Amino acid sequence: MTTTATSGNLRDSIIETARKLFVEEGYQSVSMRRIGQQAGCSPMAVYRHFSSKQELFLSICEESFAHMIRNLERPHPDLPIVEQLRARMAIFIRFCAAHPSHYRLAYLDAAFAGIDVPSRRLCRERFRAFVDECIACKRLAIDPDT
């Protein structure tokens, strides 16, 4: 096995171990040392891949939502605009229901820890744009801030 493959496998192992520990014990309760021990490596090996616990946490959150965010783009362009919004909302809800730990980390634990998760912000902005588009087409009559 090459060094790159080994390094990639270790990085993946660190991410999965950290995700599991963050979900089970909460972000605040888990140390980088503990993540390293559980992943079968030294704390320094963890720091070679992630400069801080916050960077590792953000990596987990961004990875979790990257696929879902890509799927929010025009899921069915042949549908009326309001139905497209409903389809996007269904994608988001199905993702959160299928991956409750991912949702909890990105939305609840991150907020509690005061960590800004760019993918969470991007998701909100995308939904706001979808709602604004429906309002502009006079297919939805609501206050978008609601």
Per-residue pLDDT of the chain (146 residues; tens, 9 = 90+): 333 445 669 999 999 999 999 999 989 999 999 999 999 999 999 999 999 999 999 999 888 878 777 777 766 778 888 898 888 889 889 888 988 888 888 888 888 888 888 888 888 888 888 889 889 988 888 887 77
- Name the one residue in this structure whose structure tokens are 């912000």: 121
CB 22 within 8 Å of CB 60: yes
Residue 123 pLDDT: 84
Q: Which residues of 7-36 are buried (b: 16+ CB within 10 A; e: fewer)?
A: eeebbebbbebbbebbbeeebeebebebbb
CB 101 within 8 Å of CB 62: no
Residue 74 pLDDT: 62
* Dist. CA 144–CA 129, nearest whole Å: 9
CA 136 to chain centre: 29
Residue 51 pLDDT: 96
